[in-house]
Amino acid sequence: MLGRMGLMVAAFIVASSMVYVVNDIADRKRDRLHPDKRHRPIASGEVSVAAATALAAALAVPLVALIGVLTLQDAWPVLLYLALNAAYSWKLKHFPLLDVFTVATGFVLRLVGGYEATGDPIAEWLLFCVLALCLVLILGKRRHELAAGGAGHRPALSG
């Protein structure tokens, strides 16, 4: 069980790292308009798009290996996380509320992945609590961004 859990944790660490790099590449132009995000390595130009793309590709190698070691029953939360975040980076982040639910679902999938790795049944109340907490935190962040004039750099806030 501990081995499966370690593989799942490693898979989510690598997957989320890759997702953050890809999303920062996709958002670099909008991030340059944000007072804080403009200092991120890709947005500021400190890291080139080519170097960031190479990093994302390099992260894909251990991710594929980790997913290959896990069974499909164990790996589905990671695969769904990747698909959901690809859709988020491509389109979903531009739709109000859908962007928030997409981000929150990513955290719920991490929880589900942990339970899949242990083989224990997941408590529905825990799923609900994690989803609710994530929604509160993300909506609070969006509210803060909106108050700070965030509609200019986050399209979902303007709709």
DSSP string for 62-120: HHHHHHHHS-HHHHHHHHHHHHHHHHHHHTGGGSTTHHHHHHHHHHHHHHHHHHHHHTP
pLDDT at 55: 98
For 10-67, write each residue's pLDDT tens digit: 999 999 999 999 999 999 998 898 888 899 999 999 999 999 999 999 999 999 999 9
- Number of domains into which the chain is organized: 1
Boundaries of domain holding 58 = 2-157
Going by pLDDT thresholds of 50, 70 and 90, the confidence category of residue 151 is low
The candidate with the shortest Cα–Cα distance to 1, out of 116, 124, 123, 121, is: 116
Rounded to whole angstroms, the Cα distance separating 60 from 76 reads 16
pLDDT at 109 over 80: yes
Mean pLDDT for 62-73 is 92
CATH number, residue 69: 1.10.357.140
pLDDT at 101 over 80: yes
DSSP type of residue 36: T
Rounded to whole angstroms, the Cα distance separating 155 from 109 reads 25
